[in-house]
Structure 1
Amino acid sequence: MKMEVYVLTELTKRGSRHFCRIEDKGRYGNFNYVVMTLVGKSLQDLNKGGPGGHMTLGCAISCGIQALEALEDLHNIGYLHRDVKPGNYTIGRAELNELRKVYILDFGMCRKFTNDQGIIRKPRQAAGFRGTVRYAPISCHLQRELCRKDDCETWVYMIVEFTYGRLPWREVQDMNQVGEYKKRVRQPMYIMELFPPPCPREYIQILQYIDSLKYYDAPNYQMIYGLMRQALQSSHVQEFPYDWEMGGPTAYLLH
């Protein structure tokens, strides 16, 4: 909770786009409390409830852009999320006209990757496993220190799930086997296992770019947004309306 409050306080100061505001915090008797703005349904629920168990392509790409904007804002204050997944993102509330706004939640696994001077900390020799096996980056399976590129890799797995409905290792239980599967789908002959239609080819370019980054590198978020916008055009899909807006395939989930 301490981490949650600190991160949200820092982001509120900067007027960040995709985070709940802290309305109040304090102590009552033996309890610490924090009051945050209320949000809507999780992207996990909205994704699963879609036709075929996933979002339509335009909606998936657009939500992906917003989800990455949230990570960029978090990275800009020197924090990694380390547990990026559909259940940690939500939409806003209909009564606030925020059905097109995506929020990121749950900063319990966050880690500061910079020191007080803003210098990136040296990686620890062994960092242990953090996060959720299905979405964890390869570095996590190798118990390496995580960095910004790892949050972005996890984000790629999430947008594949938004787009196609499942990841190829979904049924695999063993953590090490999942890690090996993630390595295998990098090979040209297996890459379409990770990015089956309707995943646009731009997703492959994005993952290859993320994989090229090193521990100290800052991701070029603008380039990734550019590829996502290109994916909208090359796939001939519209960004809006989102699936859960009135008349859309998952509008029923909000009632």
Structure 2
Amino acid sequence: MRKINKKERTKKEPALDKIAVFEEPEHETIVLGKYRLVVKIRCNDVCHTYYAKDIESNEDVLIKLGSKEKKELSSDFNNSKALQDGTGIPEVKCRGQENEYNILVMNILGPSLEELFTSCSRKFKLKTVLILADQMLKRLEYVHSKFFIHGNIHPSSFSMGIKDYTDVKKVFLTSFSYTRKYSTSNKPVRCNKHKIGNLKYASLNAHAGLEQSRRDDLESLGYMLVHFAKGDLPWQNLKAISKLDLLDKIYRSKKATSISTLCETLPTEFGLYLNYCRNLEFGETPNYSYLVDIFRNLADKLNIEYDFVFDWERD
């Protein structure tokens, strides 16, 4: 990595509309010889994500920086490459290493659904939830068709497109660090070698230490949809003295909360979806068309048009 002078900056910066911008880099920094870090937009326990500029082509990109000691970015790159041809899967350009960092360069995307959820006061209207559900189910169907499970479905795993680069109405599935091949055997095995992902949206089987399969991605998506539509989940604000304690409390709360209670105040279709997901066998192939139709039929019943006008686009 090298510092650059302000004179080397190009005038055009990436569009940052509705993005939760955290901070600019402390120094003007070039990575992999040609990418200038512009602004850090998010961070988690895997990596820091930046908007960046290719100073040779003037193209805007996303760059993830993660510790060399962790293997998540390598997994993200390899899994993204394996899934590259799918609709709503972002293109990864290259990867490399500099100093103590693993670096992943990918196509620029818009805000994550987590950021958009926050911008809408942590609740979406039903129409937005249904339009998102339609696309997110298709993304998971594609990933599963390639014999992968995502393994960490939560709102930050999805981003919208960004103007001038991708379709702003399209949902992209991202963050493939936890993605892995799934087993087609009939019975799950107890397997503690994999992390379970985001605790708030993890499936009951993941909490129980069982190997995950396609059903677990779909169950996690169900919790997301309920959260989007209701604005809260029963286990989201639990107090704990440690992460293990929190893991245990969330698991107990999920087991104790019936689907009918979880989905009260929502149309019955949300409970129908979650019941279907929880009743799938470990190696069973989900009926994705049935799941998509659950929400499309709800939209028809309520005269909701899939016009792709989302809550965050309203004045």
TM-score (structure 2 length as normaliser): 0.68
Per the alignment, residue 181 of structure 1 pairs with 253
Per the alignment, residue 43 of structure 1 pairs with 113
SS of residue in 1 equivalent to 2:83: helix
SS of residue in 1 equivalent to 2:311: coil
Per the alignment, residue 98 of structure 1 pairs with 167
Does the CA-based 8 Å contact 1:202-1:230 persist in structure 2?
no
Task: Indicate the percent of aligned positions where both proteins have the same amino acid.
Answer: 24
Give the alignment's Cα RMSD to 1 decimal: 2.2
Question: Once the 2 structures are TM-superposed, how far is the Cα of residue 206 of structure 1 from its aligned partner?
Answer: 0.9
The residue type equivalent to 2:94 in the other structure is K
* CA–CA distance in structure 1, aligned partners of residues 278 and 188 of structure 2: 18
Asked if 1:242 corresponds to 2:314, the answer is no
Partner residue of 1:195 out of 263, 276, 280: 263
Question: Once the 2 structures are TM-superposed, how far is the Cα of residue 78 of structure 1 from its aligned partner?
Answer: 1.3
Asked if 1:141 corresponds to 2:207, the answer is yes
Question: Once the 2 structures are TM-superposed, how far is the Cα of residue 148 of structure 1 from its aligned partner?
Answer: 0.7
Does the CA-based 8 Å contact 1:113-1:121 persist in structure 2?
no
Does the CA-based 8 Å contact 1:11-1:74 persist in structure 2?
yes
Does the CA-based 8 Å contact 2:95-2:105 persist in structure 1?
no
Point out the structure with the larger helix share.
1
Q: What is the correspondence of 1:26-41 to structure 2 with a 5 Å cutoff? A: 26-27=95-96, 33-41=103-111
Per the alignment, residue 224 of structure 1 pairs with 291
Question: Once the 2 structures are TM-superposed, how far is the Cα of residue 17 of structure 1 from its aligned partner?
Answer: 0.9
Question: Once the 2 structures are TM-superposed, how far is the Cα of residue 169 of structure 1 from its aligned partner?
Answer: 1.2
* CA–CA distance in structure 2, aligned partners of residues 210 and 29 of structure 1: 43
Per the alignment, residue 182 of structure 2 pairs with 113
Once structures 1 and 2 are overlaid, which stretch shifts more, 126-135 or 222-231? Answer: 126-135
Structure 2: tracts of 5 or more residues without a match = 1-72, 240-245
TM-score (structure 1 length as normaliser): 0.83
Aligned residues: 234
Residues 216/105 of structure 1: CA separation in 2 closer, same or farther (3 Å cut): same
Per the alignment, residue 150 of structure 2 pairs with 81
* CA–CA distance in structure 2, aligned partners of residues 162 and 242 of structure 1: 13
SS of residue in 2 equivalent to 1:172: coil
The residue type equivalent to 1:226 in the other structure is D
Q: Which has the higher contact order (CA 8 A, sep 6+)?
A: 1
The residue type equivalent to 1:143 in the other structure is G
Deviations 1:146-183 (A, max 9, x none): 11101100000001111111111111243222212212
Does the CA-based 8 Å contact 1:43-1:89 persist in structure 2?
yes
Does the CA-based 8 Å contact 1:17-1:70 persist in structure 2?
yes
Per the alignment, residue 150 of structure 1 pairs with 216
Question: Which structure has the larger Rg over C-alpha atoms?
Answer: 2
Asked if 1:125 corresponds to 2:190, the answer is yes
Per the alignment, residue 253 of structure 1 pairs with none
Question: Once the 2 structures are TM-superposed, how far is the Cα of residue 28 of structure 1 from its aligned partner?
Answer: 6.1
The residue type equivalent to 1:171 in the other structure is N
Residues 204/122 of structure 1: CA separation in 2 closer, same or farther (3 Å cut): closer
Structure 1: tracts of 5 or more residues without a match = 250-255
Per the alignment, residue 252 of structure 1 pairs with none
Does the CA-based 8 Å contact 2:113-2:158 persist in structure 1?
yes
Question: Once the 2 structures are TM-superposed, how far is the Cα of residue 26 of structure 1 from its aligned partner?
Answer: 4.8
